[in-house]
Amino acid sequence: MSPKLLLGFPLVLLAIWLAGGSPGQAAYRAHKHRQKPPPCSLGGSKTLYRDSDVRVYSKYYRAFEERDTYACMFAVNKRLRIATNAIDEREKVHHLVLALPYIAYWNIQPKQPNSPYSFVSTLNLRTGVRRGTVAYAAVAAVGVTHRGSVAWMDSEPPDTSPPYDTYYVHKVDAGGNQVDLDSGKDIDPTSFAVAGRYIYWTKAGAPQSATMP
């Protein structure tokens, strides 16, 4: 190419030519960039929860008669399954709470003889690391910290009969062991909360608290 033609060459095309590409390739790359799917998307999914940081959603797979539930943090754009509701594996998720990068929830799994099926689970949405702790059969509330520490309130211990009017407050310590903090018929099941590193609840009308790792 002569210097005269080079001077008359449009600057954008010149940059492409010098890079060894072609206008068609550049247009394709630009189009491909514009068509990039939104973060944490999945065609045909249903949003269960969404804020500026996280989307939780479900997807039904008709061929398998299965509905899966996923959680995804936009900054990572990594889809992580938190429950599967299929014919032989009917998991349920309740009391979902967030303290990024962690999500915590009550996970009910298919009941098997002599096997636990109620868990309080935490999931690191950045790394995908998941942990579960066996809980009583009726979890009333869950709380989690930004460091992944978890606490919860539940009732209905194994081998008990109704009415299930005694509530229990638990946490997991730094060593991964369950700690029973309190129990009683006079615990208000609506009083449980986690803020910062503190757990709060009310017993006999008096406020109670404990710290988390």
What is the rounded distance in angstroms from the CA atom of residue 85 to the CA atom of residue 23?
49
What is the rounded distance in angstroms from the CA atom of residue 102 to the CA atom of residue 127?
10
Amino acid letter for position 39? P
Q: pLDDT tens for residues 43-58?
A: 999 999 999 999 999 9
Domain boundaries, given as residue ranges, for the chain: 91-211
Here the tokens at position 13 are 């095309």
Distances (CA, A) of 13 to 16, 20, 98, 168, 195: 5, 11, 49, 70, 57
Query: Which pTM value belongs to this model?
Result: 0.78
The listed range with the strongest mean pLDDT (5-14, 29-38, 89-98) is 89-98
